[in-house]
Chain A
Amino acid sequence: MSELHYKTLSETAAMLQAGEITAEQAVQACLDRIEATEPSVKALISVQGEQALAKARELDGQGPDPAKPLWGVPMVLKDLLTTKGVTTTCASKFLENFVPFYDATVVEKLDAAGAICIAKANMDEFAMGSSTENSAYFKTANPWDLERVPGGSSGGSGATVAAGQCAAALGTDTGGSIRLPASFCGVTGLKPTYGRVSRYGMVAFGSSLDQIGPMARSVEDCARVLQVIAGHDPKDSTSVDCEVPDYLAGLDRKDLSGLTIGLPEQYWPDPDKEGGLSPEVDQACRNAVAKMEELGAKTVPVQLGLTDYAIATYYIIAMAEASSNLSRFDGIRYGKRAENAEELIDLYTKSRTQGFGDEVQRRIIIGSYVLSAGYYDAYYGKAAKVRRLIRRNFDKAFESCDLIAGPVCPTTAFKSGEKADPLQMYLIDIFTISCNLAGLPGMSMPVGLGADTNMPIGLQLLGPSFSEDLMLSAANTLEKNLPPMPSPGL
């Protein structure tokens, strides 16, 4: 069944529904692929093989169910989504032995739709990073070139999809953590509008920024998964109670006529100048935009004038929220407890110091600093105001266009160890973080391989709040008219 592994989720789901393959065969094919590729890719923190096969046999016993759109489909979850009875580590030593007693809402929804979760994916510890090098367990390799990073923080989710280990995965995106690994690994990833998907059971990093979304091998696959996980949840008061459109219904558009694509000058810096796009990224993304024009889309220049301030704004807010969120890790109710602590404060301090990696500690310290009495106004308060201005930038831009297009990242995947300085690592998020600050949906879709590095390049699409349906339909039309994306030679 090895020929199954690079099929799209849509193809696999159709074969399962038609009874052409059993759920057990689908799961076994993924487990075989994991066995073959995992020693080199290392995308997964844990694999629930026996459990997944048992669930598959149970489903097979009942037979395919058209009411369950993901019936028998093997999926992987980023390891910060709680799974009942299955260790959830957030790639941190602090939660090495944490076994949740409840499922995240998205996990419940996938289960109800018939999906089978086969493994938990590696990530940067508590989703803090852009390369998955901050995992406390191991680094994940990019399936296209094992010396390069898969991006982050959902690098395990990106790599497992690219390596054909599952039909699709869930990631989370606080500042680009779905879109960057999707771009680097040559898969499609969607960060929904803030409030579109319930975050109950997702271990929080930046609560005003985090969203859960699909990563898969086609736009249609992302639409199918989003359809299942989207919607209001009484357990998450930030999930918005508005109707979930039929994302698949819009996918049959023939062309892009009537669509206006905004091209922000700030997202297309001249490749010949310092700080510009790498020529291969510029080329591939421009080709994709040219294809959209050929398909009838109109392009217009737009301004996102505050792009240069977005990284500072984002990291102040994200770190402030992280320092607050991570104060729950105290070694009392779950997670790591240091030995030989003399009294309570000592217990907190030792447990946290031993349990958190360097990047997590750096962010907690800066987050605490920017929230502290003397610096709140200059940092956190200021960033919250600039955030409003960034949102207005987008509102203004969307007055003259339907969607925005640009690269996900100025370069293709870099080599492991290449960006050792934390600030240099933050700077690669330049094109992805404004979207989270504004709460908008964004996606990355592969548009080819770079002429210089031969690595995948992702085009980013951004849209107004709750425009996932339009974004998916435009992306699907573009995908169908681009040369098919090859698979990594694994």
Chain B
Amino acid sequence: MKISPEEVAKVASLARLELGPEKIEEFTGQLGDILEHMDKLGELDTEGVEPMFSPVEQVSVTREDKVRKEHTREEVLSNAPETDGKFFIVPRIV
């Protein structure tokens, strides 16, 4: 399937990416070629086939829901671009 420049820009923005006009043009061609290759799957009859989402299909492994303190607050905040020592700081939302 070919994809339009508008669709590329729209999906990019939904994925929180911002593409300039040149990049949109470049990606539109490349993504169209890739999607066209993917369309090949339409040739196959998959009626009644159960989808396979993971090679490990056993029942979900669960563990006891127990609070554990594995990491300190300092560690968790250590890579944050901005903190006040207690919390992650983000730009004003409202």
Which chain A residues have a beta carbon within 8 Å of chain B's beta carbons?
97-102, 194-195, 208, 234, 237-238, 240-241, 306, 308-309, 311-313, 315-316, 323, 327, 330-337, 341-350, 352-353, 356, 358, 361-362, 364-366, 368-370, 372, 378-379, 381-389, 391, 421-423, 426, 438-440, 465
B33 CB → nearest A CB, Å: 5
Determine the residue in chain A with the shortest Cβ distance to B46.
A385
B34 pairs with A366, CB closer than 8 A: yes
Chain A to chain B contacts (Cβ below 8 Å), 10 pairs: A237-B60, A309-B40, A323-B15, A333-B80, A344-B91, A346-B91, A365-B27, A369-B3, A369-B11, A384-B53
A382 pairs with B17, CB closer than 8 A: no
Interface class of chain A by DSSP:
helix
| 20 further A-B pairs in the complex, CB-CB below 8 A; given A208-B54, A362-B31 | A97-B79, A102-B71, A208-B53, A237-B60, A237-B61, A238-B56, A306-B44, A332-B80, A344-B93, A349-B18, A353-B18, A365-B31, A366-B35, A369-B35, A372-B14, A384-B51, A385-B51, A385-B52, A438-B55, A439-B56
B21 CB → nearest A CB, Å: 14
B55 pairs with A208, CB closer than 8 A: yes
A423 pairs with B49, CB closer than 8 A: no
A334 pairs with B79, CB closer than 8 A: yes
Question: Which of B19, B39, B41 contacts A313 (CB under 8 A)?
Answer: B41
B79 pairs with A388, CB closer than 8 A: no
In B43-68, the 8 Å CB interface with A consists of 43-44, 46, 49-56, 58, 60-61, 63
Determine the residue in chain B with the shortest Cβ distance to A363.
B34
Whole-angstrom distance between the alpha carbons of A101 and B72 in the complex? 10
> Which 7 A-B pairs rank lowest in CB-CB distance, beginning with the nearest?
A439-B55, A384-B51, A334-B79, A337-B81, A385-B46, A101-B75, A388-B52
Whole-angstrom distance between the alpha carbons of A311 and B41 in the complex? 10
B90 pairs with A332, CB closer than 8 A: yes
B29 CB → nearest A CB, Å: 10
Number of A-B contacts defined by CB within 8 Å = 174
Proximity bits, B1-43, A CB within 8 Å = 1, else 0: 0010001100111111111000100010011011101111111
Whole-angstrom distance between the alpha carbons of A323 and B16 in the complex? 11
A391 pairs with B60, CB closer than 8 A: no
Question: Which of B8, B19, B30, B56 contacts A195 (CB under 8 A)?
Answer: B56
Whole-angstrom distance between the alpha carbons of A205 and B9 in the complex? 23
User: Contacts A309-B44, A378-B42, A423-B37 known; A194 to B56 CB distance under 8 Å?
Assistant: yes
B51 pairs with A349, CB closer than 8 A: no
Whole-angstrom distance between the alpha carbons of A359 and B27 in the complex? 10
B17 pairs with A364, CB closer than 8 A: yes
Whole-angstrom distance between the alpha carbons of A365 and B75 in the complex? 32
